[in-house]
Structure 1
Amino acid sequence: MRACEDWVIEAETKGIKLSEVILQDQIQELEQTEQGLFQRMSANLMVMRESVEAGLIGKRRSLSGLVGGDAAKVEDRRKKGTSLVGDQISGAIAKALAVAEVNACMGKIVAAPTAGSCGVLPAVLFTVEETCKVSEHDLILALFTAAGLGMILTERASVSGAEGGCQAEIGSAAAMAAAAAVELAGGSPRQAADAAAIAMKSMLGLVCDPVGGLVEIPCVKRNATGAAIALAAAEMALSGVKSAIPIDEVIDTMGQIGKQMPCALKETAQGGLAVTPTGRRIQADFL
């Protein structure tokens, strides 16, 4: 079973980025060339960028009519300069909502790591891109960092809401995004791991309770909060704040919490917000 700590130690020993260690690991495991893997990841990045742009327009509506247009509202407020949380966080919120809305409206997205959590990683990546003026090459490398952490999350725990609750979807996405953000901002492999741990710890225990069984309420808005948490975790790690609990132990803990979580709170729409009076009414009215 992989451990993030092993990759961190290897990266630190060789004086290279975490993404470079992960890329070499995948070249050997998948028996593909570096160029081939880069091309595939570049294609993923392009889809992410297109889904952000499509969602920010705000014209899409889901079949239920429950989702669509919120990303454009946040983006409009940001452009007016009236954001309460500043341009970067406001922009990340808008981007995360945009991608999640595109998913709910049956548009093309990258599941990162799942469709329900697809807005977190692109929102964080493109926010850091705007802030730090990084290159396309660096963005693609950062995707390898996120993907590597995603593999560890899948092996040691789960990224499925049906298996581990929303902590396994939005929580994993936030951890992946936080690690990628730190690398993009010039942080060390250790800081990337700390950021992932801080982000994941902030999402432990989050239940999966989709109203009507759709990936719409509260899923879309959780993408936005996940992106904000990822950026907060990255900022702390880059400032030298460490995680007292190592990332691998945090991941293992998430997996254990998922096993202890009742089925009603794991994507069945039999608990949480799904069974509130309003949740039941929405299901009856729209589904």
Structure 2
Amino acid sequence: MRFSHLREISALCTAESTTISRLMIQEQAQETNTPEEEIFRQMAEYYDVMKEAVHRGQTQDTVSRSGLTGGDGKRLAEYLRAGETCSGEASALAMAYALSVSEVNASMGRIVATPTAGSCGVIPGVFISAQERFGWDDKHMVHGLFAAGAIGYVIANNSFISGAEGGCQAEIGSAIGMAAGAMVELRGGTPEQAVHAVGLALKNTLGLICDPVAGLVEIPCIVRNGLGAVTALAAADMALAGVRSTIPSDEVIDVMLEVGSAMPSKHRETAKGGLAQTPTGKRLTESLTRNAPTKEQ
């Protein structure tokens, strides 16, 4: 790739009068020696999987094998249809869809890791709800995925995307940043605005620990996906309005690396700290352990 930082993406797009998505398609084609048409087709298939996951989460049973989670995506959608929401229709719909995809993941359904399975709901929640609101076609949305991919590429190569390495700021934070920047491009914003959206989003998740109850990607992971979708929309709105990340986005990514590296291991996906070690978290873990089937069963 010709870029390793967000500032380089912005500079290349400006110099070549192109978008982040087009730049990423061209770079990936050259990097992999694959025709652009084939790369686009593959990404379109991923978007189909995302839409299928949203549909399944909204129409089918998504109770997880543990029995701890399921059905909240449908509950939120029903609440949205019932009347006025506190956060507004756009936020509520994005939350509902993000929860649904994460619940499909927890119930062993098919999802796209964006950038991980634990953060799989944010981008589909933001993208598919926005597509319904604005009437965009799938081709436009697939271009958005390439923009998100370029942002994720930079984050992964300069910081973390794994909760085990850098806490939930790495998983959910990265997904929020990717969704926010991509949403700016989908709405017609400039590459510079998209980069600012990433910084604005990531700053709001710095230090977020990864503390899954019983070590499962359910509590609090699913709820964080829902709320993460709302944060992504808010960051995109800020950037489109002209709000800038005073600390450059690349420097925010560097801070995410610093904070994640300093984070205690008990707060990095080990289930040995945070919500996993609350009295209720311990009780749920013990209950699941007692009821786990033995090899003989």
Q: What is the TM-score when the length of structure 2 is the normalising length?
A: 0.95
1:15-26 equivalences under 5 Å are: 15-26=17-28
1:268-279 equivalences under 5 Å are: 268-279=270-281
Q: Which residue of 1 aligns with 2:11?
A: 9
1:178 maps to a residue whose letter is A
Measured after TM superposition, the shift of residue 58 of structure 1 is: 4.8
| Pairing partner for 1:83 from 63, 82, 85 | 85
Structure 1: distance between partners of 2:236 and 2:71: 28
| Pairing partner for 1:27 from 8, 26, 29 | 29
| Pairing partner for 1:161 from 141, 160, 163 | 163
Structure 2: distance between partners of 1:182 and 1:135: 16
Deviation readout 1:214-262 (Å, 9 max, x if unpaired): 0000000000111000000000001111110111111111011110000
1:158 maps to a residue whose letter is F
Q: Please give the secondary structure, in 2, of the residue aligned with 1:38.
A: helix
Where does structure 2 lack aligned partners over 5 or more consecutive residues?
290-297
1:53 maps to a residue whose letter is H
Deviation readout 1:241-286 (Å, 9 max, x if unpaired): 1110111111111011110000010000000001011100000112
Measured after TM superposition, the shift of residue 15 of structure 1 is: 1.8
Measured after TM superposition, the shift of residue 158 of structure 1 is: 1.0
CA, structure 1 residues 286+82, in 2 after alignment: closer, same or farther (shift >3 Å)?
farther
Q: Is 2:286 the counterpart of 1:284?
A: yes
Q: What is the TM-score when the length of structure 1 is the normalising length?
A: 0.98
Q: Which residue of 2 aligns with 1:68?
A: 70
Deviation readout 1:78-112 (Å, 9 max, x if unpaired): 11123221111110010000000000000000000
Where does structure 1 lack aligned partners over 5 or more consecutive residues?
none
User: Residues 104 and 216 of structure 1 are in contact (CA less than 8 Å); yes or no, is this contact kept in structure 2?
Assistant: yes
User: Residues 58 and 72 of structure 1 are in contact (CA less than 8 Å); yes or no, is this contact kept in structure 2?
Assistant: no
CA, structure 1 residues 251+176, in 2 after alignment: closer, same or farther (shift >3 Å)?
same
| Pairing partner for 1:132 from 122, 131, 134 | 134
Q: Please give the secondary structure, in 2, of the residue aligned with 1:109.
A: coil
Measured after TM superposition, the shift of residue 22 of structure 1 is: 1.2
Aligned-residue CA RMSD (Å)? 1.0
Q: What is the percentage of aligned positions where both structures have the same residue?
A: 46
Structure 2: distance between partners of 1:182 and 1:127: 15
Which of 175-184 and 129-138 deviates more?
129-138
Deviation readout 1:8-44 (Å, 9 max, x if unpaired): 1111122211111111111111111101100110000
Measured after TM superposition, the shift of residue 138 of structure 1 is: 1.2
Structure 2: distance between partners of 1:180 and 1:217: 27
Deviation readout 1:151-188 (Å, 9 max, x if unpaired): 11111011000000000000000000001111111111
Say how many residue pairs are matched: 287
Q: Which residue of 2 aligns with 1:250?
A: 252
1:105-184 equivalences under 5 Å are: 105-184=107-186
Q: Which residue of 2 aligns with 1:196?
A: 198
2:96 maps to a residue whose letter is A
User: Residues 58 and 71 of structure 1 are in contact (CA less than 8 Å); yes or no, is this contact kept in structure 2?
Assistant: no
1:237 maps to a residue whose letter is A
